[in-house]
Chain A
Amino acid sequence: MDLPQLLAIRARRDFLRLCAGGLDMAALAHLLGASSAAADLPAGNPLAQRPPHFAPRAKNVIFLFMAGAPSQIDLYDPKPALRRWHGRSLPESMTRDLQLAFVKPGAKVLASPREFRPHGRSGLQFSDYIPHIASCADDICLVRSMHTEAFNHHPGQSLLMSGSVQLGRPTIGAWLSYGLGSESEDLPAFVVLSSGRGSSGGSSNWSNGFLDSTYQGVVFRSTGEPILYLKNPPGVSERTQRARLDAIRGLNRERYSATGDAEIASRIQSYELAFRMQAAAPGLLDFSDESQATLDLYGVGKEPTHPYATNCLLARRMVEKGVRFVMLAHASWDDHQEIDRKLGRNCAITDQPAGALLRDLKRRGLLDSTLVVWAGEFGRTPMGQLERVDEAAGRDHHASCFSAWVAGGGVRGGHVVGRTDELGLGIEKDPVHIHDLQATILHCLGLDHERLTYRHLGRDFRLTDVAGEVVDSMLA
């Protein structure tokens, strides 16, 4: 083995080791200095691990993002009183000031055709559409009093993910990667998996906003190459790829000495991370080390669960590898028509894998350190959206109240936060705004949402904008 080869191999090994913890810049400088004149790279690997503000309850987040706004009335928040009103209009005094996207306030009430019953020791009520999630009732903290001010999809999704209805702000995964760095040495800190149709917010749901682009969500594809351009070009082996990278790094480093531009140091790091991703990412998709029982638990290889099950299992594998934030976007729950059939379809796709994810994390001891969040951007109206209140009917957007849940990561299982009124029009007790949920998620990760800031255009920005409170009652 000649010297350059030896250096290359050593370099790679060192990188893996160094990047496992905070990147020791002296060591990196030494490493990079192996092939060129010594000049220090600026300190600061943007993905180096950083300490939280206080002891965290969780290290990772899996965000089950249900894009399009699932109906809380048919899944999580039973409203038997709607039966009395079924097919009739509510009095104007009740509906006058509802913000509705499409229906008129006088639209006819649509009672849920679903059956609710209590589950677990805690007796949390879930509908019969989500038996697997319901079976984890004692691990779930169900918030029935979520609310938001955005009642259209893209702004709503933007608020949920970035704390603002205006596009261009960093999303929660980006904030967490920025605040805590990466635990993974060969995968991005923030990964996005999607199933179903694209979500309305598209890539703005995993944007880094004005933060360094290192923090943006990286989309993993569940078929073909998991990441675009992951495979070496034809004729390039791992060895020649490494040599190519070493040559690029050497020359980039020379340029850094000549110009002093810190952007070059970032470029060197992004190439190294790219190389490590090439090695690590395909292994994530190779489920041969999973037992058949595990695959069956999620529903991998079965219809209609397969795509979502694959993503849930991938999420667990990524969390094991130290990925900080995994977003699983599933679209679309925007059921303006035929809500019962479409909701049933989406639940058939996602319920079993989501329940399996909780069970699997728990039995592996990962649920304590992983916060699982299940949420859409808003909820749906108690009124139907067609003249008829039969199987053709759907529900409109409803921002005043909806449900979401969190599990694991130091939250209080088997617990319900908040209460809506008997018709599901508004909140009666303990409202939780999206900013409050965001503050609570950051809190579980050991971050104070008021201290996690970034200065941009002369102002300190934060995920929770100018609001948000940690919801104590959600915490264990």
Chain B
Amino acid sequence: MAAQRWFTSLERCYRVNVRSVIGQQMSLGSVDPSDVELDGTSRHGRPAMTLWRALVLALVKPARHCHFSRLTGRRESLRRMSVGDKHGVRLARIVALAVLAAAPGASAPGDLESVAAVDFESQVAPVLESRCYACHGSTQQMSGLRLDSGEAALKGGHSGPVILPGNSEGSRLIQLVSGQVNGLAMPPAGERLSPTEVGLLRRWIDQGARWPEQPEPSAVRAGPRHQGHWAFRPVRRPSPPAVRGEAWVANAIDRFVFARLEREGVEPSPRAASETLVRRVSLDVTGLPPSPAQVEAFVADESPDAYERLVDGLLESPHYGERWAVQWLDLARYADTDGYEKDSERPYAWRWREWVIDALNDDKPFDQFTMEQIAGDVLPGATVEQVVATGFHRNGLKNREGGVKIEQFRFEETVDRTNTVGTVWLGLTVGCAQCHDHKYDPISQQEYYRLFAFFNALDEAEIEASLPGESGPYLRALPDYRERRRRLLESNRVYELQPAWEARMIEAADNPGKWTDWDHALDALQKYLDNGEGIVRKPPEDRSDRERAKLEDHFVKNYHRVITKQFREELGWDALRERLLRLRAQTPDITYARAVTEADPPRATHIHLRGAWNRTGLAVEPGTPAVLPPLDASGEHSRLALARWLVSPQNPLTARVTVNRIWQEYFGRGIVPAADDFGTRSAGPSHPDLLDWLAADFVAGGWRLKRLHKTIVMSSAYRQSSRTRPALAERDPDNLLLARQSRLRLPAEMIRDAALQVSGLLDPTVGGPSVRPPQPDGVADLAYAGSVDWDPSQGRDRYRRGLYTFLQRTVPYPQLANFDMPDRTAASCMRERSNTPLQALNLLNDQSFVEAAQALALRAVPEGGSGFERALERLFRLALSRRPRPGELAALLEYYRRQEAIFEAEQETAERFMPLDAPGLTASQAAAWTGVASVLLNLDEFITRE
């Protein structure tokens, strides 16, 4: 009988008498015997398998993915049992508990044994070996704890000793294996230690935790286990394979792609139509649709190098730098404000963006591009531009909220910097190791903090970074400005009052908690003036002009915190502030930049237990993860050594990660689909050799991005039609094989750009400060306590490309957010391409897009509005880079006529919808044409790269 077999197999597995255990439990009154029938089924006839399953689940089901399992796995799994079979559950629970209690170790603990001496070799070591070594042994030392050597075991882990000889009660080891300490229990998954085992460990510790002499085990690190992972192997340059369809091959990329297709027996798609191709490559390389003239010229050009010349021209366009800066801004979590609460503006954040656009347009090699951003400030003979590049580290969030501890937030910023570099260059989510080790992750917590140490050593700095043409007027105006400022400050008693205020600040800093109001004042100084306390502590003669001015400004603005209202009114410094601001605004100034510098003196770095800013463990030195090639730090500044390591030819990740991300933009999907996860759990590349060839070629070609872009867009794979093929759609719905191109919705910024470009409204100026195009009323009001003021830009600044739109983190520009611009709180490697009703409303009803439709209509429709077909064709060529098909012409003609008729009847509405001035057109004509133009701007095709 089945149940009999079940019991027998249980007994065989666990060498226990299940029936007698059940009997014991029953006799103890913990169960109503009528609940159980001895053939192993519940009274309600559920088969014994349910119980068996419960038991197996109870024994093998791992707890939550995280170590901090909330309960022992056992109880959990039992609760997991199917609903409505409570008797079965109950029985299974009893059986499981019984089996567990009686499992290995056999004999029950008795009083006699509590005094018997425990033998380490025969009794303790087997328990440690079977239950602990997997994570705390020679191959891995989770939380820094190693239990296979006496010395290491007694030393403990990152949080200190776990074994206190003679004191089992106080030993963390016992606390964790015998119960749970605030949700943490050991082992974290699977079966718990039996009472017998715990008893053994307890007695061994109480008896002095004697560890026999043994040779020190070799120091094996976590690393090698993972070195077989494909992404950590060195990049080799595979030979492009021979393929049968040579005619299809334009470059090496095609050999890899086509070889795979041949293996799978799938044909590639034909080349896209010329109109499609020129639009595709223009949008991909510059982010802007081509002009009708460009399309016409390309379509008419039959020379064999026509496409290559087109590509070269696009890569030389300054708009290339703008388009590809967008991807880098996502990675660098760029924004124009601090984020958090008041979300203050960062007036010069854009200066770093300027550097990125210029670097891309200059085709600065990616290794150089990397080194300058990671460590430009410490490059030998660093130029201003190289220091500006370090603004990369300044793009994270900043919390200036009162009460946030400076050191806490500095820790969080350093975590953010570490994680960002991990994602951007290594394609690894290193942040997982911030809190503790993960058994299957390639980076340990200790290694995380070694990486962290590079960034722990930096301080924030503001530097003069004037742009061409700024310095002359600034220097000429300076003496007069200073004199006028000095007079203002002097006549308002600033110089007279400031020294006492500074002295109190220093006193408050030295005696925290003594004077609450001065504590708050000091907090404000530290939050709102970078290095505020440091400046106050400097003797006035050592302060730079800018430091002096900033401190004075802060003093004038924040003095009210420590004076009476009456005195404040008497001083009238609100008015003084206004006058200072006005004076500043009237005087030519230069641009500054947000950068970093080395901390002096350097800071020591420790492991932070459980990732908490204020719980530090062992000290660590800067270093790189063991799974990756070693760092060469010979005599060089450490952050610079890290930068060189990132782009050393031996580093297997940086080149792979970078080419994959570029590829992703051209095909809608990376060769490695999760561009931000090259770790051991990544899905892996669809074309491993292609990825390596691209990476190797990228490095061999001098890390030139433009060369990489060109290689990709010159391939036949890129130039294929994006039309779906029914048979292929069945076979390869996600287009992994690349037997066609993909239609991809444009990124948020480029939808705006395209509408402005085709309507002729775009101001193509490259670079400069961020702008605030008009947005609906009330959007900015959603920010914290009215702290955001969206004063729309005027004139041409209303029509700049999307990447220059002021990025207010707490209330981002709605059109950009609607079309999936990332929130820029952390590095983002992949954008969503959503398709929502809010997007429809945005394109249909947003005044900016209506304005674009009006301008497009005016641009396309000749004065007098004659020749419907010609005008419509022009509209199509402007908006969609192609001519309309007959069916489209007919549909739009019908639409136009109906609209004209309606507007004819409703002159008033026509006047509101038409452009302000439409020479030669009646109001109803102009409104109807606006409608037609708006239809085109709303088409899926308009916002899609085909």
Contact = CB atoms under 8 A, between A and B. Distances in A.
A403 interface: no
Contact of B946 (A2, A188, A259, A400): A259
A229 B779 CA distance: 11
B855 to A, nearest CB: 14
Interface in B706-736: 722-726, 729
Interface in B80-130: 80, 83
Among A98, A188, A251, which residue has the most Cβ atoms of chain B within 10 A?
A251
A401 B380 CA distance: 55
A251 B872 CA distance: 14
B79 A469 contact: yes
Contacts of B903: 240
Given A37-B887, A254-B885, A260-B724, A228 B909 contact: no
Nearest to A469: B79
Q: How big is the B interface, by class?
A: 35 or more
Interface string A199-229: 0001110001000111010100101110111
Contact of A197 (B784, B844, B894): B784
Interface of B: 64-66, 68, 70-71, 76, 79-80, 83, 181-184, 403, 610, 673-674, 683, 722-726, 729, 743, 745, 776-779, 782-785, 810, 814, 817-818, 820, 823, 826, 832, 834-842, 844-847, 850, 885, 887-888, 891-892, 894-895, 898-899, 902-903, 906, 909-914, 927, 931-932, 934-935, 938-941, 944, 946
Contacts of A433: 70
Contact of A273 (B743, B782, B837, B912): B837
B823 A202 contact: yes
A397 interface: no
Contact of A244 (B184, B743, B844): B844
A233 B673 contact: no
Given A214-B835, A254-B887, A263-B940, 6 more contacts: A232-B844, A233-B845, A234-B912, A244-B844, A255-B939, A260-B726
A223 B776 CA distance: 13
A98 B182 contact: yes
Among B70, B902, B906, find the residue whose CB has the most chain A CB atoms closer than 10 A: B70
B944 to A, nearest CB: 8
B778 A221 contact: yes
Interface in A447-476: 457-458, 465-467, 469-470, 472
Interface of A: 2, 4-5, 35-37, 96-99, 147, 149, 167, 188, 197-198, 202-204, 208, 212-214, 216, 218, 221, 223-225, 227-237, 239-241, 243-248, 250-252, 254-255, 258-261, 263-264, 266-267, 270-271, 273-275, 277-278, 336-337, 400, 426, 431, 433, 457-458, 465-467, 469-470, 472
B939 A248 contact: yes
B688 to A, nearest CB: 16
Contact of B723 (A212, A239, A259, A470): A259
A251 B834 contact: no
Contacts of A227: 838, 841
A401 B944 CA distance: 49
A466 B64 contact: yes
B724 A259 contact: yes
B941 A457 contact: no
B70 A431 contact: yes
Instruction: Kindly list the 7 A-B residue pairs having the minimum CB-CB distance in the complex, ordered from nearest.
Output: A213-B834, A235-B913, A235-B912, A97-B182, A260-B724, A274-B840, A274-B837
B80, B840, B842: which has the most chain A beta carbons within 10 Å? B840
A260 B940 contact: no
A228 B912 contact: no
A248 B931 CA distance: 11
17 contacts: A198-B784, A223-B778, A229-B814, A230-B841, A232-B845, A235-B911, A235-B914, A237-B909, A243-B895, A252-B939, A254-B891, A259-B743, A261-B743, A266-B835, A267-B835, A278-B841, A400-B182
B814 A228 contact: yes
Contacts of A235: 909-914, 927
A348 B779 CA distance: 27
Given A36-B891, A248-B939, A240 B909 contact: yes
Contacts of B785: 197
Given A149-B70, A198-B810, A228-B776, A233 B847 contact: yes
A228 B895 CA distance: 27
A246 B910 CA distance: 19
B846 A229 contact: yes
B388 to A, nearest CB: 30
Given A244-B935, A247-B891, A208 B834 contact: yes
Contact of B776 (A225, A243, A469): A225
